[in-house]
Amino acid sequence: MTEKINVYEKKTEIYHHGNTLQSIWHIFVTSNGILKMIFNIFNPIIARITSEKTNNPCGFIIYAKK
């Protein structure tokens, strides 16, 4: 006996990355001046701040498998 396989089954996962703090940090760090070079040192620390839900994501990551 054979099973029917749905070849059109799709799996899609959507994840957000970033949050409000990271958006504000990006605006602050991309300004001109000597502070830009100083605050770029802290970018790895700010990048590790995560949140499960946010109203202001920096972007989205989409995984799709057909």
* pTM of the full structure: 0.55
Q: In the numeric block, which tokens belong to residue 33?
A: 């001046």
- Distance of alpha carbon 66 from alpha carbon 62, whole angstroms: 13
* 3-state SS assignment for residue 46: helix
Q: In the numeric block, which tokens belong to residue 41?
A: 């040192």
Q: In the numeric block, which tokens belong to residue 17?
A: 């990355």
The residue among 4, 3, 21 whose CA lies nearest residue 58 is 21
pLDDT of residue 6: 57
Question: What does the pLDDT profile of the chain (66 residues) look like in tens digits?
Answer: 455 555 566 788 888 888 888 888 888 888 777 777 888 888 888 878 777 777 878 888 888 887
